[in-house]
Amino acid sequence: MSKYLLLIDDLFNKNLFIKKFLKVIDYYNFKPIYFYKSNSVNYKEILEEILDISKNFTKIFIDVNKYLYKTEKK
């Protein structure tokens, strides 16, 4: 299950986040589609909303390692 984990840190790397997000959606869409013959989750809508919200998150959180490295260089 850990391979389907999304982290706040992933939001800083948009391509990595999208790749991991699609894996999660694919994993969770399997059951509704194949067992219940239901519609799949619209991943484009969700992804767009998450990326829009993430703009605010990336302003709040920092990459601590990068920050410490920069301050150490000074």
What superfamily would CATH give domain 2-73? Adenylosuccinate Synthetase, subunit A, domain 2 (1.10.300.10)
Q: Is 40 strand, coil or helix? A: coil
CA–CA distance, 68 with 62 (Å, rounded to integer): 10
DSSP state of 11: G
Contact 17, 10 (CB under 8 A): yes
Q: Indicate if the pLDDT at residue 58 is higher than 80.
A: no
Q: In the chain, what are the domain boundaries?
A: 2-73
- According to the model, what pLDDT value does residue 41 have? 82
pTM for the model: 0.69
- According to the model, what pLDDT value does residue 6 have? 86
Residue with tokens 């894996």: 23
Q: Indicate if the pLDDT at residue 62 is higher than 90.
A: no
- According to the model, what pLDDT value does residue 49 have? 94
Which tens digits make up the pLDDT trace of 22-55? 998 888 888 878 888 888 888 899 999 999 998 8
